[in-house]
Structure 1
Amino acid sequence: MRSWRAHLGRARLLVRAKLPPVAVDAVLTAALLFATAGLAHRDLSRSTSLVVFQWLLLIPLVWRRRAPLAVFGAMAAVAFLQWLAGAPLPADVALLIALYTVAAHSSRLRTLSAVGVLELGALLASLTWTTHGRTTQSFIALSAMVIAAAVTGVNVRTRRAYLAALEDRAGRLERERDQQAQLAVAGERARIAREMHDIVTHNLSVMVALADGAVFAQQRHPEKAAAAMRQVSGTGRQAITDMRRFLGVLRADEPDALRHPMPGIAQLEPLAEQVRAAGLPTRLSVSGNPAAATAAAQLTVYRLVQEALTNTLKHAPAGTRAEVRVRCSPDSVRVDITDDGPAATTPADPSPTASGHGIPGMRERAAAYGGQLDAGPQPDGGWRVSAVLTLNPPQDGDGAR
């Protein structure tokens, strides 16, 4: 029994997959024509009008899914004419199929209207064609079939709507996942671009400054020129090391990737020494406990100081002095980088650039920690960059209160 049902289910799925709905309905109509013609063979052979009613009741089923209400209306009209002619036919079962189609494909109001029409037809048929005083029993039986057809159609429509809603929800979730993945990729690309920009720009700026100094000193002070070139070599090697370390962190299969941490507040002094060697006198002061900041926050502090000093080194005139102050607290880290250059020669234009790095990138770094960054000229001359990083951002619930 189960095997027979399984084969029937597979055959049904195959038919639905291979044949269009109109073809399936045409096969159904042909089967009903043969079946009902066999049941009413004697009546049909005696009356041509019954043959006409037989065909008019069944042929519209071919288009039942294209125009459910129109097909039902046409078949109901034919059934009414058949009742007037006083000729009951087995083909009247097609009205139940038409009602099922209306319930499965139309609105609730149209379904109720179709049920009302068939209930009226059931009442007329029971009053006219029932014998032996069984009018009530006949009407109850016909009404039960009408209600069963309508309920079956409504259930099919409800299930179809439910499946459509599930498909729509799955589609929306998939689109949201794709968008989130794209945003994550874009954010990661921006982060990598900022890191690459900071590493390359700073080291190249220092190397250019050292090389220029070596050119000017090679005639009168060859020992200073040689020292500057050694600094260029050391800075280049440091740039390569930083680049390899950064790329190693990005590679999950790198065995030593996590053994070499990225720079933090403790590396600010070597950074200041490097900038001093390039010709920018720099004073560094760190107060508080840097250990209160996470490694990522310390990397952000390092990159902010590195970018600000690089801008000063590139744009400020000779003789400019820089000062870096880092103040650590349990809840935040404040960074101030200032220089005493002339007001007319500011380190950089704070407006966004085409690449989106530089000062705009510094603002993005600060914003990632719920902080802010201000950059601009000082009233007495020079340039100032101030940033505050929040180490313990308030939760949404706390913020709402």
Structure 2
Amino acid sequence: MSFDLRRLRVVVRCRTFAARHRLLVDAGLAALLLVLQFSQRAPGPAGLALVVALHVPLIWRRARPVPAFWATLAVAMVCDLHAWQFEPRRPFVFAVLMAALYAVALHEPDRRHLWAAVVGAELASVIMLASARSWTEYSGAVLFATALLAAAASLGVVRQTRRAYLAELEERARRLERESDQQAQLAVAAERARIAREMHDIVAHNLTVMVALADGAALTVSRSPELAADTMHKVSATGRQALGEMRRLLGLLRADVPAPAPRVRAPQPGFADIDGLIAQVRTAGLTVTVAQHGLPVEAWGPGAGLTAYRLVQEALTNTLKHAGPGTNARVDLRYEPHGMELSVTDDGRAPARTSPGAGGHGLAGMAERVGSYDGTVESGPLAEGGWRVRARLTFGAVA
């Protein structure tokens, strides 16, 4: 295992060095082929110059593959004119030409240059082999040279295609990673916005109920201490409930704190909890009547019930805060097969309240909630006095 790891490290280092010093690596390959040329007897001064000139273009076979090939081809043809010196080295000359053609196939994306290089190399091989002693020997040598050139070009094309494919896969992986990070950030932002809405609804409603209960206890403490004490117990219970909900939501926002041990948490409120909400508001001194038509559909899911609950909660909280003493409120719930319509109306005479989008965070939160269910919400004063909040939600038809 350690031996394989060492070999892997050596391979990685070699590849890193080759990527950083491409020109040096290509010069080393050209020098290696040049050394192989001298396995035969040394040529004269002119032949030595031609041998060196034949290998020099290979140094730029990756940086400038097309010019390097045509320079190699030109020198190879000059070498063929000195056949008396290069006859024993003809296979080596052809090998250099194949290396240059392979470089064009591998590093040049324009296929037109490759086709031109293949034709040029083929013509050169036909000319270089013209000194064959018989037609049979000549045709066989040309076929063999053609096969070698085709193999070099095909191998280069295959490697270039594979490189492009791997590069595309890497780019796609990076793009998917970026998109995944963006989606995660958007999901976190959406979740934080949802938690912020929940916290606003919980804090605003419970504080409003506590203030109303405390006011009522203050008014009755002198003539009915027992009733005032009972009211203050309700204030305490409401405050504890609000603190529990806030701790739960703040725990979701604290990403740096390790998750606590699993425990049973109270479910989110839904359709069945609207009656309890109205009862809590009644204890705060607001007279509320309820009219319900139809029943909610279980297949709508908990999100639908939570949205309806929060809409009623926010509307009644605003009534408690703004409508003044002696106000009566009416909650109408109409359930249909594909959604519901709800309205909360009061007869308060308090100054006008804000409408959705006019600076009120609670009513703006209503608009965000109904938007997730393709719904609408309207809020405004009535001609005869009072205020009405009406929302329509679409949950989808159920078969």
Instruction: Please classify the TM superposition score into its range, dividing by the shorter chain length.
Output: 0.7 to 0.9
What SS does the corresponding residue of 2:379 show, helix, strand or coil?
Answer: strand
- Aligned 1:126-137 pairs, distance under 5 A: 126-127=129-130, 129-133=131-135, 134-137=137-140
Query: 2:337·2:397 contact (CA, 8 Å) conserved in 1?
Result: no
1:178 partner amino acid: D
1:38 partner amino acid: S
Return closer, same or farther for 1:150/1:8 CA change in 2, 3 Å cut-off: farther
What is the distance in 2 between the residues matched to 1:390 and 1:145? Answer: 71
Q: Hey, what does 2:368 align to over in structure 1?
A: 364
Query: 2:292·2:334 contact (CA, 8 Å) conserved in 1?
Result: yes
Determine if the alignment matches structure 1 residue 276 to structure 2 residue 282.
Answer: yes
Unaligned runs of 5+ residues in structure 1 are 1-6, 396-401
Query: 2:282·2:288 contact (CA, 8 Å) conserved in 1?
Result: yes
TM-score (norm 1): 0.84
Offset at residue 327 of structure 1 (A) = 1.8
CA RMSD of aligned residues (A): 3.1
Per-residue displacement from partner, 1:280-323 (whole Å, max 9, x unpaired)? 32222223224645333222211111111112222223333221
Offset at residue 78 of structure 1 (A) = 1.8
What is the distance in 2 between the residues matched to 1:389 and 1:185? Answer: 25
Unaligned runs of 5+ residues in structure 2 are 1-5, 254-258
Determine if the alignment matches structure 1 residue 71 to structure 2 residue 68.
Answer: yes
Q: Hey, what does 1:34 align to over in structure 2?
A: 35
What is the distance in 2 between the residues matched to 1:253 and 1:373? Answer: 40
What SS does the corresponding residue of 1:169 show, helix, strand or coil?
Answer: helix
Per-residue displacement from partner, 1:64-107 (whole Å, max 9, x unpaired)? 11111121122222223333444534334211111101111112
Offset at residue 369 of structure 1 (A) = 2.8
Return closer, same or farther for 1:31/1:11 CA change in 2, 3 Å cut-off: farther
- Aligned 1:2-401 pairs, distance under 5 A: 14-19=13-18, 20-39=21-40, 41-42=41-42, 44=43, 47-86=44-83, 87-88=85-86, 89=89, 90-106=92-108, 107-127=110-130, 129-133=131-135, 134-215=137-218, 225-243=228-246, 253-257=261-265, 260-290=266-296, 292=298, 293-342=300-349, 345-351=351-357, 353=359, 357-392=361-396
Return closer, same or farther for 1:383/1:237 CA change in 2, 3 Å cut-off: same
Return closer, same or farther for 1:9/1:315 CA change in 2, 3 Å cut-off: closer
What is the distance in 1 between the residues matched to 2:100 and 2:75? Answer: 13
Return closer, same or farther for 1:347/1:253 CA change in 2, 3 Å cut-off: farther
Query: 1:245·1:262 contact (CA, 8 Å) conserved in 2?
Result: no
Q: Hey, what does 2:3 align to over in structure 1?
A: none
TM-score (norm 2): 0.84
Return closer, same or farther for 1:8/1:123 CA change in 2, 3 Å cut-off: farther
What is the distance in 2 between the residues matched to 1:15 and 1:25? Answer: 14
Query: 1:58·1:91 contact (CA, 8 Å) conserved in 2?
Result: no
What is the distance in 1 between the residues matched to 2:217 and 2:10? Answer: 87
Query: 2:213·2:234 contact (CA, 8 Å) conserved in 1?
Result: yes
Offset at residue 366 of structure 1 (A) = 1.9
Offset at residue 192 of structure 1 (A) = 1.6
Offset at residue 368 of structure 1 (A) = 2.5
What SS does the corresponding residue of 2:39 show, helix, strand or coil?
Answer: helix
What is the distance in 1 between the residues matched to 2:314 and 2:345? Answer: 12
2:381 partner amino acid: P
The number of equivalent residue pairs is: 379
What is the distance in 2 between the residues matched to 1:98 and 1:241? Answer: 76
Identity %: 45
1:29 partner amino acid: A
Return closer, same or farther for 1:182/1:145 CA change in 2, 3 Å cut-off: same
What is the distance in 2 between the residues matched to 1:27 and 1:392? Answer: 72
Query: 2:370·2:391 contact (CA, 8 Å) conserved in 1?
Result: yes
Residue range with higher mean Cα deviation, 231-240 or 186-195? 231-240
What is the distance in 2 between the residues matched to 1:379 and 1:350? Answer: 19
Offset at residue 56 of structure 1 (A) = 0.5
